[in-house]
Structure 1
Amino acid sequence: MAQAHRTTSHVRLLAAGSLAALMLGLAAPAMAQDAQAQAEESTPESAREIVVTAQFREQRLQDTPLSITAVDATLLASRNQTDLSQIAQQAPNVTLNAMGGAYGSSLGASIRGIGQFDFNPAYEPGVGMYVDDVYYATLTGGIFDLLDLERVEVLRGPQGTLTGRNAIGGAIKLFSKKPTDENSGMVEAVYGSRNRVDIRGSANFILAQDLYARISGVYKRQNGYVDQIDYGCANPGNPQGISARPGSGQDCVIDKLGEKGYAGLRGSVRYNPGDNFDLVIIGDYTHEERTNAAEVISLINPARITNAYACGRFCTYANFYAPPGGFVSQGYEMPNRLKFDGYGFSANMTVGLSDSINIQSITAYRNYRQKWGTDDDFTPDLAIAGQGYNDLKFWFFSEELRVNAKLGDMIDLTVGGFYSDQRSVYFTRQDIRYIAPGLNFQFLGNDPVNADSKAVFGTVIARPMDGLTLTGGLRYTKESKDYTFVRKNFDGVTKSIYLGALDGVKAVYSGDKVDWRLSADYRFSPEVLAYVTVGTGFKGGGVTARPFDAAQALNGSFDPETVTAYEAGLKTDLFDRRLRINIAGFINDYNDIQLPLISCASLGSNAPCGARQNAGNGRIKGFELEMQASPIEGLDIDASLSHLTGNYKNIDPRVGNAILLTDPIVTPNWKYSFGIQYRADLGSAGSITPRFDFAHTGKTSAGRIAAGQPIEFFNAYDIGNARLTWRNEAEDLSISFEVQNVFNEYYTPFRFASVYAFTGTAYSQVGRPREWAVTVQKRF
């Protein structure tokens, strides 16, 4: 059955990829080569000008008084970055991590040490995610493929007045290519390690005068790299008495964790009759179906279980089988894979009322559903079985209205409003038998979660004298959320034996917040801009996601956590724009931090505590440097360096010894990267470009394995990627060979240790080992 299931999913993904390829094939008779892309590819990185819209209007990156890492399509291609999580390798003080099996397909994100990694809809993200100026409200489904993008903007530091709530750490904004007045296209095919197959392409059409369309598609498939092994098959006659599972095969491999299985389509239509009107309508669809994340047991308490369950660096004995017990009359298999289907629509309309005033409307709708299973203990031991099945449904609507005005030559003004409404239904079947012998903690949840947000905002940019620009921003946000807990026995009708007091309880949060920002920048010369800024941001409040009784749910709501950030920076373009250096230093006062409690007595509960409250204050300091250089024709170098440190000022006693004042708020302290490439002209034979990228991530906190234990760290790691690209003379055909993780570094960026006290195990994600790929791209 497992093999049949995998085959079906592969066929569906292949069908989606084939549909994309067919549609792109129909667009192949494109009339003209993409001249702009050719020009960008031959322009030195430091001289290539990127225009950003971080302050609601188009500005040169070097004129914007914010810390922004802006990566355009050309640099994304040269680094071979194809999904959002890869951006963090070169972005200073940015952590983006595709989360593990317990969290499904979700993206944990933090910037300057502030973010969120728990997918549960009771909590809010700490980094604002935007696609074509539309807010993406959850971590789930956030591992975007970088399909047909114009650029990525990573805004570091709180963006409370610019992007609003949940941008306390910063914001990441993806901008896809708009339809233009040309017929052009591109198709790309990749083959690589572990039967990697990627197909992607795009096509641009002129439909009629002033009416254009663009379509793009992607299909990605690759085998996993962690063997899920049948323990009984691999260890016959084992002392635990675990027998082989039927259908394991001679090699005892049940499956491969860490697969890729992704397909997506995006289509857009643009009507642009002139400077005073522009309308872009976008629709997209994503299907992801693959095995769970590549994870292995990384810690075992031998006093509880045998070390024999630790399989190795790239294998696991994880068993997603639940035997009879409690409400389970016969054994069953949890899925070891996930399935995600999502789609969305947006309409972005700009109307020019005059040469100095325009109105912009951004309307969007998004819907997705994700299903996945987990093995909490990650062992084959049926005596400590702990499995979970999850089914998360989500929809989201938003409307944003902006008025941009130019008041003479000295003042630019933006005022606007924002509204969003989102609904989730989180169904889960939890089968937990590891707490104590005979205590079968089993329940069904089917929790509806409603949330909405309203905001009004304004930004003023004034130029009182030549070279000096002053910016002020203000935003008021009102938000609310309610979470209704459904806790049934496995029959779906009677109240849960252990959590029945929660059944039907509604937890409610509501609040409002004012954010502000002031900045001043001065251009000393065409080459040098200095700026200072102070501003605020917040991560939304919420409710306790996993309470153990009604008191924790009803009294466990918490307020936003906040940041007041002070920053100074310098942006330079030197030596006729052949050297670009941007430097920023900052101090963040980080308050009302949302932390888990050890004791819930203050909430009126004596049950095991699952609540989170505003329970700490601290300060984070750091600096960042980014550099791009083109010292000679054809040679491009980019680099980044960042340092981050943070300390708690106080922690609520209710947190206990789970977090101490001496613990770091943020890690890693150090990150740095560099990339170098040289384009050698071969005349009529085209050109050849070797490139090498290197990224270092310092040691990162793994937290405590249990309260009172010493804090632990993941080791620092270094990732090197190499790529060699040949292009023909017309630059409409290229062939590349790449090796990622050249040094075959073994690293574990994240671990799940929530149940270590009961199971004696913790398991960790394993980074992708060294792999190679060949890419062929053709432009039309």
Structure 2
Amino acid sequence: MARTIGIFTRARLVQAAATTAMACALSAAPAFAAEAADAPPADAAAEHGLKEIVVTAQFRSQKLQDTPLSITAVTSDLLKSRNQTDISQIAAQAPNVQLTQMGGAFGSSMAAYIRGVGQYDFNPAYEPGVGIYIDDVYYASLTGSVMDLLDLDRVEVLRGPQGTLTGRNSIGGAIKMFSTKPSAENSGNIEAAYGARNRLDLRGSMNFALTDSLFVRVSGVHKRQDGYVNMIDYGCANPGNSLGITGNPNTGKGCVIGKLGEKNYTGARASIRYNPNDKLDWIVSGDYTYENRSNAASVLTVDNTAKTGGVDFRCGNFCTYANFYMPAGGQAGQAYTMPMNTMFTGWGVSSNLKYTLSDNLNLQSITAYRKYHQTFGTDDDFTPYGPIGGAGYNDLTFRFFSQELRLNGKIGSLAEWTIGGFYNDQTSVYFTRQDIRYIVPNVPSFYLQFQGNDPVKANSKAGFATLILHPTSKLNVTAGLRYTSEHKDYTFVRQNWSGGALVDPFGVGALNGSVANYDGNKLDWRISADYRFSPQLMAYATVSTGFKGGGVTARPFTKTQATNGTFRPETLTSYELGLKSDLFDRRLRLNLAGFVNDYKNIQLPISDCSLLDGFAPGTDPYPCAAIQNAGDGKMWGLEGELSATPIDGLNIDATLSWIDGEWNRISAQVTSIKLSDPITSPNWRGSAGIQYTADLGGKNGTLTPRFDLVYTGRQQIGRLTVTSPLDYNPAFALANARLTWKNPKEDLAISFEVSNLFDKYYYLPLRFQALYASAGTVYSNVGRPREWAISVRKSF
């Protein structure tokens, strides 16, 4: 996809390149009521304190405070109390986690980073750096990952490499979502919300029993909201302009031709559970997602008027002159307009079967199949000025099958163990039509327009084992191994727009039919020891590894860039110390961690493909958009999580995180990053929340006000040229407020909420500057302005 030929967001790339961060996560007491059928019993002493949290991060139900991992556990109650309905918002309460909806050039996808390690690029040639799971089923693609949090029981955010537990591509960590299981009770709920810019949300779920052993749960959601960045017809708004750009006669009121940042999302999920006895528990689930909305809300933030006809096309905080228009030229016999909508349709089925073989042995089988289709268009220069433009149309089809087997056992009171295997097979077909005829500066007659239809096949196999020893009643030692073998092949199709042979100055057409292959394997390991000093205090020390899979260069300009562009996995070794405590009769929960990460073979974009093309360094005449193992670095940080309920009804949570580090190596092929640059940013993150449930007495129910504040420190977004200084987004804080009334039965709730309470204007930590060298423009995603909503929820 040629629209990323320039350096995407150097800040994102720098973050993708490394980092760890301090993270603190305080969470209100009611929010942590994660229940599990086989959960260990909660301490009865905590009747009026913080409720016990149960997690399954180590393939078995354990109390959070007994698990030697950095985990933030969040239940659906906390998500609702904070007005959060999609996965990208989880970062607000999970320190050192950054989940960002991508801009229009990347479709319906999400940049996911934990401790500064992750991935932003949706292309199937590249692997995510944060593992995303729903009901233990791996989601292998960033596309379609901005999911609604539909009918969830809880979310577990695991920070740090999870190589032995969740496998490859969890080098930064993992986000595991668990749906509410079907049960024997007949119950349900329905919720409706109306708010700013015609926001309308509808969601509901229903649970019922078909027989004494067969249960069904069905849930659905629909969300719709107008966009918040106006697309303005430049010719209409500026009649008689110096460039002779005329208005479109079909332009609507006020010269507005559309709005970016819409929501239009529909999802459904159904599960059937067969649970005839204590030995067998089998859940089969299916889900469907449909999204049809305008592209992400972006505005032009840099405009070099020397390249844009002497006109500055920046038009304001929440407006853009982008029109997705390209004039005639090259293969484009007449002017045309790219679609400015993103469409996504996806569905999946899964089977999760648990069978108890004996008192000390049980088997679990997890089988899944997923498929999705996405289309979207781009305006790469984000102006109405045709002579500098670039545009792309993208159509991606994806299929994924996975199978996992786990065998869990116990050896008396001495040890617990897990062995298992995992296999997946995936196929993508990426059709694209690219028009970047002006990508080469100072060569106005040059054009580069091509059509691709690239099949990408990949598979992986893994075997894993975990052993938890209990030498004494207070000491536990955990060891884990995981061996992974992976393969990927990418077939490049480069044709003209009619499907025939492509003739171009660089010979891009010679790529047609070329195949790039990657094969690799990796052994991950983990060793951890934890010691419980008292019922209130546990400490642990862990050394663990993880990796992000290798691959091939997805956007080559020459055949040699494709065949020589294979890169290896990037790897991370993490050293971590942690402390977990429940104090003052569980009125205060404080978890702390410190870590040092050794990050190797970081996958970075290079700007000089001389070595791949067979030229002396710095002499390659061809453009370069390759990824290579081009850096090493170290990061270190501190994390803290705190929850408090000083009196009944009052819940306080807060977070604070700090991270720093340094580059040890940067390849000479990388010009956008210097050894002296910070390896990650922001250094500081924090959040705070408070709520109080007031009993109104008698039949009047309760009233709960809640206030949340999230702080993000100054964050680098890269440099525009090799000699430019680093650019930064300034630090900002966002506040949200919510007031909820519940009736005495707590089966009816009415809420009024305001997000971005003080109407802070801010940019998301990414920008698109692929055409800066030729077009002189950069556009950025802008955060949502202040919004309000009223919601009503009824349970039955």
Choose which of 499, 508, 513 in structure 2 pairs with 1:504: 513
Taking the aligned partners of 1:377 and 1:267, their CA distance within structure 2 comes to 43
User: Residue 7 of structure 2 aligns with which residue?
Assistant: none
1:310 to 309, 314, 318: 314
| 1:300 aligned onto 2:303 | yes
Residues of 2 paired with 1:45 and 1:764: CA distance?
47
Superposed counterparts of 1:478-517, under 5 Å: 478-497=485-504, 498=506, 499-517=508-526
Moved more, 714-723 or 496-505: 496-505
Could you tell me which residue of structure 1 aligns to residue 691 of structure 2? 677
Residues 16-48 of structure 1: CA deviation (Å, up to 9, x unaligned)? xxxxxxxxxxxxxxxxxx9999xx9xx999612
* Secondary structure of 1:654 counterpart: coil
Q: Secondary structure at the match of 1:658?
A: coil
**Residue identity opposite 1:398 in structure 2:** S
Counterparts of 1:745 and 1:45, CA distance in 2: 38
Shift in Å, 1:708: 2.7
Matched with 2:92 is 89
Task: Give the alignment partner of residue 595 of structure 2, picking from 586, 593, 604.
Answer: 586
Work out whether 1:365 is the aligned partner of 2:369: yes
Contact 1:202 1:217 in 2 (8 A): yes
Q: Give 1:754 shift.
A: 1.6
What is aligned with 2:412?
A: 408
Q: State the match for 1:446 in structure 2.
A: 453
SS of match in other structure, 2:561: helix
How far residue 627 of structure 1 moved from its aligned partner, in angstroms, is 0.6
Counterparts of 1:509 and 1:697, CA distance in 2: 38
* Alignment of 1:709 onto 2:716: no
* 1:224 pairs with one of 227, 233, 253: 227
Counterpart pick for 1:529 among 533, 538, 546: 538
Q: Which moved more, 1:611-620 or 1:511-520?
A: 611-620
List alignment gaps of at least 5 residues for structure 1. Answer: 1-33
Query: Which amino acid in structure 1 is aligned with residue 145 of structure 2?
Result: G
Report what 2:737 is aligned to.
722
- The CA distance in 1 between the partners of 2:243 and 2:172, in whole Å, is 48
Stretch of structure 1 that moved more, 624-633 or 609-618: 609-618
Aligned partner of 2:681 in structure 1 is 667
The alpha carbon displacement at 1:139 in A equals 0.4
Match for residue 10 of structure 2? none
TM superposition shift of 1:741: 0.3
* Pairwise CA distance, 1:613: 1.1
Q: Are residues 1:779 and 2:779 paired? A: no
> Equivalents in 2 of 1:211, 1:384: separation in Å?
62
1:67-90 per-residue CA deviation (whole Å, 9 max, x = no partner) reads 001001111111111001111112
Q: SS in structure 2 opposite 1:615?
A: strand
SS at match of 1:190: strand
Q: Provide the rounded CA distance (Å) in 1 between the counterparts of 2:35 and 2:386.
A: 60
Match of 1:593, SS? strand
Contact 1:44–1:635 (CA under 8 A) maintained in structure 2: no
The one of 654, 674, 688 aligned to 1:639: 654
For the pair 1:215 / 2:215, whether they are aligned, the reply is no
Residue 183 of structure 1 aligns with which residue?
Answer: 186
**Farther off after superposition, 600-609 or 501-510:** 600-609
Output the CA distance in 2 between the equivalents of 1:420 and 1:346.
13
Equivalent of 2:644 in 589, 613, 629: 629
Cα offset, 1:147, TM superposition: 0.5
Structure 1 segment 109-188 matched on structure 2, within 5 A: 109-188=112-191
Distance 2:438 2:194 in 1: 44
How far 1:668 moved relative to its partner? 1.1
Letter of the 1:533 partner, please give it.
Answer: T
**Displacement, 1:610?**
2.0
Q: Is the contact between residue 323 and residue 331 of structure 1 (CA under 8 Å) also seen in structure 2?
A: yes
Instruction: Tell me what 2:397 maps to.
Output: 393
2:751 and 2:382 map into 1 onto residues whose CA distance is: 39
Q: Per-residue displacement from partner, 1:88-121 (whole Å, max 9, x unpaired)? A: 1121111100000000010101100110001111
Q: Is the 8 A contact 1:552 1:610 kept in 2?
A: no
Gap regions ≥5 residues in structure 2 = 1-32, 37-41, 615-619
Q: Match for 1:365: what amino acid?
A: Y
Cα deviations across residues 265-304 of structure 1 (Å, max 9, x unaligned)? 0000001112211000010000000000000001111222
- Structure 1 distance, partners of 2:431, 2:453, is 4
Pairing partner for 1:469 from 465, 473, 476: 476
> 2: distance between equivalents of 1:90 and 1:420?
32
Q: Does 1:548 align with 2:557?
A: yes
SS state at 2:708 partner: strand
State the match for 2:5 in structure 1. Answer: none
Q: Which has the higher contact order (CA 8 A, sep 6+)?
A: 2
Letter of the 1:625 partner, please give it.
Answer: G
2:705 partner amino acid: P
Structure 1 stretch displaced more, 495-504 or 68-77: 495-504
Match for residue 765 of structure 1 among 759, 777, 781? 781
What's the TM-score, normalizing by structure 2? 0.92
Alpha-carbon contact 1:44-1:634 (below 8 Å) kept? no
In structure 2, the residue matched to 1:58 is: 61
CA contact (8 A) 1:50 1:72 kept: no
Aligned to 1:352: 356
Structure 2 contact 34–75 (Cα < 8 Å) conserved: no
Taking a change above 3 Å as real, the CA distance of residues 441 and 220 of structure 1, as seen in their structure-2 partners, is: same
CA contact (8 A) 2:750 2:793 kept: yes
Alignment of 1:725-744 (within 5 A): 725-744=740-759
Residue of structure 2 equivalent to 1:21: none
DSSP-derived class of the 1:653 partner: coil
Alpha-carbon displacement from aligned partner over 1:701-756 (angstroms, at most 9, x marks no partner)? 10111223211111111110000000001100000000000011111112111211
Q: Distance in 1 between matches of 2:732 and 2:302?
A: 19
* Counterpart check, 1:238 vs 2:241: yes
Deviations 1:646-684 (A, max 9, x none): 2101112222x3211011121111000011000000121
Amino acid at match of 2:83: N
| 2:427 counterpart of 1:423 | yes
Q: Hey, what does 1:16 align to over in structure 2? A: none
| Amino acid corresponding to residue 323 of structure 2 in structure 1 | N
Deviations 1:681-700 (A, max 9, x none): 01210000000010001111
CA spacing shift, 1:53–1:36, aligned 2, 3 Å: closer
Q: State the SS of the aligned residue for 2:424.
A: strand
Q: Which amino acid aligns with 1:218?
A: V
Could you tell me how far 1:599 is from its partner in structure 2?
2.0
**Pair 1:496–1:188, CA change in 2 (3 A):** farther
Contact 1:488-1:494 at 8 Å conserved across structures = yes
Amino acid aligned to 1:353: L
Counterpart AA for 2:610: A
Separation of aligned partners in 2, 1:440 and 1:617:
37
| Offset, 1:602 | 1.6
Q: Using a 3 Å threshold, how does the CA distance of structure 1 residues 552 and 36 change in structure 2: closer, same or farther?
A: closer
- What corresponds to 2:381 in structure 1? 377
Amino acid in structure 2 at the alignment position of 1:734: A
Check conservation: 2:604, 2:630, Cα contact below 8 A: yes
Distance in 1 separating the partners of 2:736 and 2:47? 21
Deviation at 1:307, TM superposition (A): 4.4
TM-score by length of 1: 0.94
Per-residue CA distance 1:507-530 (angstroms, 9 max, x = gap): 110100000000000111111110
Q: Hey, what's the Cα distance between the residues in 2 that align with 1:155 and 1:44?
A: 27
Q: Secondary structure at the match of 2:105?
A: helix
Query: 1:730 is paired with a residue of what secondary structure?
Result: coil
Tell me which residue corresponds to 1:692.
707
Residues 590-609 of structure 1: CA distance to partner in whole angstroms, max 9, x if unpaired? 00111122222222343222
Are positions 1:459 and 2:466 aligned together?
Answer: yes
* In 1, Cα distance between equivalents of 2:286 and 2:712: 36
Identity %: 61
Contact 1:62 1:571 in 2 (8 A): yes
Match of 1:17 in 2: none
SS of the aligned residue for 1:464 comes to: coil
Question: 2:630 & 2:446 partners in 1: Cα distance?
Answer: 32
1:98 counterpart residue number: 101
